A = this chain, B = another copy of it.
Amino acid sequence: MSKLTHLNEHGQAHMVDISDKQNTSRQAIAEGSITMQPETLRLIMEGGHKKGDVFATARIAGIQAAKKCSDLIPLCHPLALTKIAIEFTVEPPLAGQEPNRIGIQVLCKLNGKTGVEMEALTAVSITALTIYDMCKAVDKAMVIGNVRVLEKQGGKSGDWRTT
């Protein structure tokens, strides 16, 4: 196992030098979820059948957060993302049970010098937090979890997929 690239030889934080890396096509997919009371999810879905403003608002928040990644994560490079898409899934915990969890999946793309997994992860987190915010009046005990990278493609280190 190699060393932490974001610390120099004295253990000090720096923004890693990517000057000599090639511009290549890159993409990353990250996911996460927010678990809640089944009644809370039902309230969201009812809105969803009409105007969908919980999902629409959370999606916009996530897209904007992906673009702010380098402002939020101190050692991230500023990147000009070429695509951001966010999808929601609603599934019951077990067959026959009432759904209590929203799954969030974010895809980011770039032609650039470094990967975009941090952008995808940031979008997942802010999307989930926006759902929390919009529903907290009825359910303060919601929990955000399983936030992780599913796969990344492109770049010198090659493709990677969670196992």
Chain B residues positioned under 8 Å from A13 (CB to CB): 53, 56-57, 59-60, 63, 134
Known contacts A61-B73, A74-B63; decide if A19 and B83 are in contact (CB<8 Å): yes
Chain B residues positioned under 8 Å from A78 (CB to CB): 67, 78-81
Contacting pair B14 A63 (CB below 8 A): yes
- What is the number of residues of chain A that contact chain B, defined by CB distance less than 8 Å? 94
Interface of A is mostly: mixed
Q: Beta-carbon contacts of A143-159 to B below 8 Å, as 1s and 0s? A: 11111110010000000
Q: Beta-carbon contacts of A73-92 to B below 8 Å, as 1s and 0s? A: 11111111111111000000
Q: Give 18 A-B pairs besides A64-B64, A78-B80 with Cβ atoms closer than 8 angstroms.
A: A1-B40, A2-B138, A4-B54, A7-B51, A11-B52, A13-B60, A51-B51, A52-B53, A60-B60, A60-B61, A65-B72, A68-B71, A73-B133, A118-B129, A122-B126, A125-B147, A141-B148, A147-B147
Residues of chain A at the chain B interface (Cβ within 8 Å):
1-8, 10-19, 25, 32, 37, 39-40, 43-44, 47, 50-57, 59-61, 63-65, 67-68, 70-86, 109-113, 117-118, 121-122, 125-126, 128-130, 132-138, 140-149, 152, 160, 162-163
